[in-house]
Amino acid sequence: MQTALFIEQILNGLQLGVMLFLMAAGLTLIFGVMGLINLAHGSLYMVGAFACAAVAGATGSFWLGLAASLAAAAAAGALVEILVIRRLYERDHLDQVLATFALILILSEGTRWLFGSFPLYLDIPPLLQGTVPIPGGSRYQLYRLAIIGVGVAVAVGLFLLISRTRLGMRIRAGESDREMIGALGVDIRTLYTVVFALGAALAGLAGAMVGALQSVQVGMGEPVLILAFVVIVIGGIGSIKGALVGALLVGLTDTMGRFLLPQLFGVFMDPSRAGLVGGAVASMLIYIVMAVILAVRPQGLFAAKG
Amino acid sequence: MAEAVLAIRDLCKSFGALRATENVSIDLVPGEIHALIGPNGAGKSTLIHQIAGTLKPDSGEIEFLGSPVSHLGAAERARMGLGRSFQVSSLAPEFSALRNVMLAVQSRQGTSFRFFKPVMRDATLVEPAMEALERAGLKDRARVPAAELSHGERRQLEIAIALALGSRAFLLDEPMAGMGPEGSKTLTGFLDGLRREAPILLVEHDMDAVFALADRISVLVYGRVIATGTVEEIRSDPEVRRAYLGGAE
Amino acid sequence: MSISRETAINLVLALLLLAVPFIAMQLGKPFYVTLATRMAILGLAAIGLNIALGLGGLVSFGHAAFFGIGGYAAGILASHAFSGQPLDFGLFAVPGSKLMPVIWAVAILAGGLLAAAIGSISLRTSGVYFIMITLAFAQMTYYFAISWPAYGGEDGLSITIRNTFPGVNTLVPQNYFLICYALLVVGLVLFAVLRDSRFGAALQASRQNEVRVASVGIAPFRIKLAAFVISGMITALAGALYADLNRFVSPSMLSWHMSGEFIVLIILGGVGRLCGPLAGAMLFVMFEYILGGLTERWQFFLGLLLLGVVLFARGGLIGLLAGRARHG
């Protein structure tokens, strides 16, 4: 039973990890190409979740909802980029932080306006309901496994996109030299809008998928956003590979910490105190990991550039 | 020959496959201007960075005033008296020329962890700074923010800062760059006198200035010093003519 | 002696705030005293941040950590004084306290220690990394406060009766306002003195050009760390005052919205300006009160306003009224 529980926790950690990867990939891409720090990325995650819940609620189809989440998040991303974000590329980070903080207020309050203050609920689609057996004699939710699968597929797709396609070539050129890409005759404004919308769509996808596990509500994107920041700080800002490694590291560390630390402290403390101390330490564990990694490598594990 | 103020031995630095500095040994003796010349990309700025401490060499030794400084950071080397001007002007742009120089004076006087006395009313900071500005010919522009100074004036300000630091040696990275003929002439005259105060390691593309000023010249090509000698020796060195001067003229 | 335009504006702002409670009592609106106290406290917290952000260019998105630790210092000391149980540190125990000066000292110390710890790691990086790391560390304190049940966990901690100050009845709102106002003035003076000192010169120069600072022989890391610690101390003091104003501490004081709000205050008022934080706090609290009274959705309009300020009105209120900053 212990083995089964352990495997289950590892799978939970992976699921959290791929979900964080979807968030972090967009953030790190946007930073790498446009040099922009986007606090409102969590709001796009929320937009995806709300779009999915609303459309699934109206049509009864999760899959239409999922498509809607991608479309809505990408559209919201493109709109925000065109209206606000593109005025910020040449500004300093302080202005970017503040403007995107303002966007959070607007998007959160706007969503509350549209949908009210009560959380929405999203059902797991029938196709993915139920459980599958895992080693150790236990069973695991099929839907969570599917999330892991989608995350892996997106990761592979992103690597192919960036290494094999024209768009990817332009993205890489944009990362290494912003002036050069303009000189190459690439329409840089469109490229930026596309990259931003792509990042937004990934965030929206993550929001929609997680929406079926939790309730869909305003503010749901913010804790995820901060975890995604930890991910890209650990992985190295601008690096997709770093985002992947960082996301899995954070997902597994957080989940396993919450599972194992109380037991570990139980070795030399009474159980109730161990649960308390273990829980408190586990809540800080990923930040401690981040601090240690930064102490050794201030630019993260896979720094794209200085 | 007098004891070297600054001695660089077998310095090496690579960036991946590119060997930017290869077994470079150079020294600087009191009273001299030692010019460092070479084609673009020869590794002159990289060398200056390593001497100043803003770039870490892969191997080799740097001695300043008789003690090894390879393990020290840029700030500590500057405090020991290694003054530096930058190829691309590096100043606090919002501060006036005066405040830029005062920062150097403040550093020279010791700790910056003084929290109360206002600097602008501190004669021990303002006066030496004004003096340095006057010597560098910038006294009239003392209250102008560095960002509003002309290109040449920023060069002068860099030198005023090095003066105010009470430097025991100067590393000047292309001080003439971007200056008009008039400015170059003034600066040449100024540097000519400055060497009596402290020796100068001068990186410069303006050959007229180099030949007029240098006591010794070292020629750097692809990270290596191919020759060191007096102006006459360098002018007549066949290898130098082939690798550098010949090609350029 | 002639007074610069900025100094005149600063004096007007400071006097205006001082006048609010007295006018409020005349009008029979005691609630305005609380608003004015809030302005003073948030202003003080933002003065702390302005040292790091305005003078040093350190965009800390984690100052809620210091604000919150100051608040918890007040709440925890008061709760122990109330229960009579000493605080047990394992090796030694200290009694609680209801005396504000003691609480302030503990808050300042705790804020300084936390800032030293966070700063010594975060300041190894810069730019976006610094922003995200300070945010992450603040979030760590937030989650710790939630998961640690001894002092209320998620529910927070009440301060039963406002703490005391020798010779002053702190239960009278105007008296408490005056205490906060006095500390605000101390904060302003401290900021002005630091800004004009050698330390301030090195700090401001390292914001403009770090390489230059090192090349004249000043190590920027130590300067920035010291600034960050001082900054954290002041914000922690404001946190202790805030806890006493509300007679309540909760993890929300540590939340990242709080950190964001402090930055907002500074931008609204004017980055690096002496009275920028105060102007920003006065604007913000007023805005919150007036708009909050008109619509439930006031944050939506706050967002729009903020966006407008960032995109079109850089320099904030002080910049608008007094023009660009001058450095001697």
CB atoms within 10 A of CB C301: 16
Among candidate residues A234, A178, A229, the one with its CA nearest the CA of residue A23: A229
Under the banding of pLDDT at 50, 70 and 90, the label for residue B2 is: low
pLDDT for A181 equals 62
Contacts of C193 in chain B (CB under 8 A): 115-116, 118
Q: Are C136 and A290 in contact (CB under 8 A)?
A: yes
Q: Are C202 and B102 in contact (CB under 8 A)?
A: no
C59 and A97 within 8 Å at the Cβ level: the answer is yes
Contacts of C273 in chain B (CB under 8 A): none
Angle of helix A2-34 versus helix A188-211 axis, rounded to 10: 160
Paired with B96 in beta bridges are B145
B118 and C196 within 8 Å at the Cβ level: the answer is yes
C-alpha distance from residue A269 to each of A265, A276, B87, C89, C93 (Å)? 6, 10, 62, 17, 21
Contacts of C197 in chain B (CB under 8 A): 114-119
pLDDT for A167 equals 81
DSSP A52-67: HHHHHHHHS-HHHHHH
Question: For C98-122, what is the mean pLDDT?
Answer: 96
Which of B112, B117, B119, B148 is most worth mutating to test chain C (most C CB atoms within 10 A of its CB)?
Answer: B112
Measured between CB atoms, does B151 come within 8 Å of chain C?
no
Q: Which candidate from C208, C217, C325 shows the least CB-CB separation from B79? A: C217
CA dist., res. A100 & res. A269, Å (int) = 45
Contacts of A230 in chain C (CB under 8 A): 132, 136
Measured between CB atoms, does C218 come within 8 Å of chain B?
yes
CA dist., res. C122 & res. C43, Å (int) = 25
B161 and C196 within 8 Å at the Cβ level: the answer is no
Q: Which candidate from C61, C124, C299 shows the least CB-CB separation from A298? A: C124
Number of domains in chain B: 2
CA dist., res. B69 & res. B64, Å (int) = 6
- Reply yes or no on whether the pLDDT at A148 is more than 90: yes
Segment A58-111, tens digit of pLDDT:
999 999 999 999 999 999 999 999 999 999 988 888 999 999 999 999 999 999
Q: What distance in Å separates residue B92's CA from the closest CA in chain C? A: 5
Q: Three-class SS string for A262-278?
A: HHHHHCCCCHHHHHHHH
What whole-number percentage of chain C has pLDDT above 90?
Answer: 69
Q: At which of B135, B166, B197 does a domain end?
A: B166
Sequence-ordered list of residues with C-beta below 8 angstroms from that of C274, at least 6 positions apart, any chain:
C6, C10, C188, C191, C192, C195
Q: What distance in Å separates residue C159's CA from the closest CA in chain B? A: 36
CA dist., res. A278 & res. A301, Å (int) = 27
What is the pairing mode between strands B59-64 and B67-68? antiparallel
Contacts of A97 in chain C (CB under 8 A): 59, 61, 131, 263
In this structure, the answer to whether residues B8 and B61 fall within a common structural domain is yes
Contacts of C214 in chain B (CB under 8 A): 54, 73-75, 78
In this structure, the answer to whether residues B162 and B173 fall within a common structural domain is no
A101 and C148 within 8 Å at the Cβ level: the answer is no
Tell me the CATH number of domain C5-322, given options 2.60.40, 2.160.20, 1.10.357, 1.10.3470. Answer: 1.10.3470
Contacts of C139 in chain A (CB under 8 A): 226, 287
Cβ–Cβ pairs < 8 A, chains B and C: 113
In this structure, the answer to whether residues B150 and B173 fall within a common structural domain is no
C198 and B104 within 8 Å at the Cβ level: the answer is no
- Reply yes or no on whether the pLDDT at B246 is more than 60: no
Q: What distance in Å separates residue C293's CA from the closest CA in chain B? A: 42
Among candidate residues C71, C118, C154, C129, the one with its CA nearest the CA of residue A283: C154
Sheet holding B59-64, edge to edge: B18-28, B6-15, B59-64, B67-68
Q: At which of B166, B184, B200 does a domain end?
A: B166
- Reply yes or no on whether the pLDDT at B249 is more than 50: no
Q: What distance in Å separates residue A37's CA from the closest CA in chain C? A: 7
Q: What distance in Å separates residue B95's CA from the closest CA in chain C? A: 6
Q: Are A291 and C120 in contact (CB under 8 A)?
A: no
What's the one-letter identity of residue B20? A
Residue A168: exposed, middle, or buried by beta-carbon count in 10 A (0-12, 13-18, 19+)? middle
Residue with more model confidence, C318 or C328: C318
For the record, the structure tokens of C175 come out as: 């008296």
Q: Which domain holds residue B174?
A: 1-81+169-249
Contacting partners of chain B (3+ CB pairs under 8 A): C
Segment C122-144, tens digit of pLDDT:
998 888 889 989 999 999 999 99
Q: Which candidate from B52, B106, B145 shows the least CB-CB separation from C201? A: B106
Measured between CB atoms, does C213 come within 8 Å of chain B?
yes
- Reply yes or no on whether the pLDDT at A1 is more than 60: no
What's the one-letter identity of residue C16? L
CA dist., res. C222 & res. B113, Å (int) = 9
CA dist., res. C120 & res. C222, Å (int) = 9
Q: Where are the alpha helices (DSSP H) in B96-194?
A: 97-108, 123-135, 151-164, 181-194
C212 and B94 within 8 Å at the Cβ level: the answer is no
Q: Are C229 and C52 in contact (CB under 8 A)?
A: no
Among candidate residues C156, C164, C21, C173, the one with its CA nearest the CA of residue C75: C156
| Cα nearest neighbour of A86 on chain C | C311
Contacting partners of chain C (3+ CB pairs under 8 A): A, B
Segment C34-89, tens digit of pLDDT:
999 999 999 999 999 999 999 999 999 999 999 999 999 999 999 999 888 888 77
Average pLDDT of chain A is: 89
The structural domains of chain A, with segments of one domain joined by +, span 2-220
Measured between CB atoms, does A272 come within 8 Å of chain C?
no
A108 and C310 within 8 Å at the Cβ level: the answer is no
Sequence-ordered list of residues with C-beta below 8 angstroms from that of A90, at least 6 positions apart, any chain:
none
Q: Among A159-173, B125-139, C257-271, where is mean pLDDT lowest?
A: A159-173
Classify residue A215 by its DSSP letter: -
In this structure, the answer to whether residues B188 and B136 fall within a common structural domain is no
Q: What distance in Å separates residue C223's CA from the closest CA in chain B? A: 8
Q: What distance in Å separates residue B236's CA from the closest CA in chain C? A: 37
pLDDT for C87 equals 84
Q: Which candidate from A98, A230, A237 shows the least CB-CB separation from C306? A: A98
Average pLDDT of chain B is: 87
Contacts of C65 in chain A (CB under 8 A): none
Paired with A120 in beta bridges are A216
B115 and C194 within 8 Å at the Cβ level: the answer is yes
Angle of helix A188-211 versus helix A166-176 axis, rounded to 10: 110
Segment B147-178, tens digit of pLDDT:
999 888 888 898 899 889 888 899 988 888 77
C311 and A99 within 8 Å at the Cβ level: the answer is yes
CA dist., res. C207 & res. C299, Å (int) = 32
| Cα nearest neighbour of B160 on chain C | C216
Q: What distance in Å separates residue C182's CA from the closest CA in chain A? A: 30
In this structure, the answer to whether residues B157 and B176 fall within a common structural domain is no
CB atoms within 10 A of CB B185: 15
Max distance between CA atoms of chain A, in angstroms, equals: 68
Contacts of C146 in chain A (CB under 8 A): 283
Question: For C189-209, what is the mean pLDDT?
Answer: 95
Q: Dihedral angle at the C-alpha atoms of A80, A86, A91, A95, nearest 10 degrees?
A: -10
Q: How far apart are the first and last CA of chain A?
A: 48
Q: At which of B150, B166, B182 does a domain end?
A: B166
Mark whether A and B touch (3+ CB pairs within 8 Å): no
For the record, the structure tokens of C172 come out as: 């009278």
Which of B103, B158, B159 is most worth mutating to test chain C (most C CB atoms within 10 A of its CB)?
Answer: B103
C212 and B92 within 8 Å at the Cβ level: the answer is yes
The ipTM value here is 0.89
Measured between CB atoms, does B165 come within 8 Å of chain C?
yes
Measured between CB atoms, does A108 come within 8 Å of chain C?
yes
Among candidate residues C221, C256, C1, the one with its CA nearest the CA of residue C116: C221
- Reply yes or no on whether the pLDDT at C2 is more than 80: no
B61 phi/psi in degrees, rounded to 5: -125, 145
The structural domains of chain C, with segments of one domain joined by +, span 5-322
- Reply yes or no on whether the pLDDT at A278 is more than 50: yes
- Reply yes or no on whether the pLDDT at A36 is more than 80: yes
Contacts of A37 in chain C (CB under 8 A): 128, 131-132
Segment B56-89, tens digit of pLDDT:
899 999 999 989 998 998 888 988 888 888 766 6
Identify the three-state secondary structure at position B114: coil
In this structure, the answer to whether residues B35 and B151 fall within a common structural domain is no
